[in-house]
A and B are shown apart, each in its own frame.
Chain A
């Protein structure tokens, strides 16, 4: 993984809590953005924060400490972790962000506008809301099933579940997720590397959180009476 191009935003509190991690990541080539300048957050490829509620951007993993648990973050470091364990979390998500770039996911919208419009028109907004809820629930289950199948070396089972997830995500308009599952499925046809698939699973978890976030946003705007909002 090429970390040279990755720009990492560290919240000032995290920098104080994990100074060694910041130094190590810098040594590995990651560009650390100015901790004191929240403006730079928009330039980031990955964000480590203690809990800014408004921080979110497409394909930017957001990590938080357990001080501010939030369902929209991808992962957390906790006060109980050793520096090495925390570093492991940081490294894992930088690699996942690199994978998202490698798969060209970063320029793809989280939610497909056309699919959303089509489903709203044919089924109605309530059905779309329920459908998205079902998707989030079933996708979470599929990710868990794939994790278990991977651990049990049941590659065929992984392939089946991944295929189902691909179909569901495309149908509901989870476009990044749909694209990622397609690419992962194509890679599976030629090889199965457990370490790579572990990372791919984490990538899918991250994309699912983005879709959850976008769905909540969509619903909030709907309930606030904003018309013609297409995700």
Chain B
């Protein structure tokens, strides 16, 4: 069964490219532009990795990560979270660790790096 990726990013360009790239790699891909429902989507579905934009127009990615880590279902609470953001200067490594971020990538996205990071944590 194909591994499932959820991506939360408000950019339609990033969503569109990511979908095709990860489908080409043999993954199932679901995207959401809103950060409001990410925790709910994780709770209700089975995903193997979450790619999470830290700065979403309607939500803070760090807070989303914290809420996911507190889910009752241990498997869902431990989903690898790959955070992405262009404003990394606002956060330190300990901030990411405290929020439960598994890995952090700087935007603009380098897709080779993103694919490799997903593979590392998903397989």
Contact = CB atoms under 8 A, between A and B. Distances in A.
A115 interface: yes
Contact of A171 (B14, B20, B55, B57): B14
A127 interface: yes
Interface string B63-88: 00000000000000000000000110
Contacts of B14: 167-168, 171
B115 interface: yes
A118 B112 contact: yes
Contact of A164 (B11, B24, B87, B109): B11
9 contacts: A118-B111, A119-B21, A122-B112, A127-B21, A134-B16, A138-B11, A167-B14, A171-B17, A171-B109
Given A160-B57, A170-B109, A171-B108, A119 B17 contact: yes
B101 to A, nearest CB: 18
Given A119-B111, A166-B86, A171 B13 contact: yes
Interface of B: 9-14, 16-17, 20-21, 24-25, 53, 55, 57, 86-87, 107-112, 115
A123 B20 contact: yes
Contacts of A172: 13, 17
B112 A138 contact: no
A122 B25 CA distance: 8
Q: Which of the four size classes fits the interface of chain A?
A: 20 to 34
Contacts of B12: 134, 138, 168
Contact of A168 (B11, B112, B115): B11
Interface in A133-179: 134-135, 138, 160, 163-164, 166-172, 178
Interface of A: 115, 118-119, 122-124, 127, 130-131, 134-135, 138, 160, 163-164, 166-172, 178, 182
A123 B25 CA distance: 9
A166 B109 CA distance: 11
A134 B11 CA distance: 10
A124 B86 contact: no
A170 B9 CA distance: 14
Contacts of A118: 110-112
B86 A122 contact: no
Contact of B21 (A122, A166, A168, A169): A122
Given A115-B108, A122-B115, A168 B13 contact: yes
A135 B108 CA distance: 14
Nearest to A127: B20
Contacts of A124: 20, 24
Contact of B13 (A122, A134, A160, A163): A134
Ranked 8 nearest A-B pairs via Cβ: A170-B108, A168-B13, A127-B20, A168-B11, A135-B13, A122-B21, A123-B20, A131-B17
A127 B17 contact: yes
Nearest to A178: B108
Contacts of B87: 163
Contacts of A169: 108
Nearest to A161: B57
A195 B20 CA distance: 41
Contacts of B108: 115, 166-167, 169-171, 178
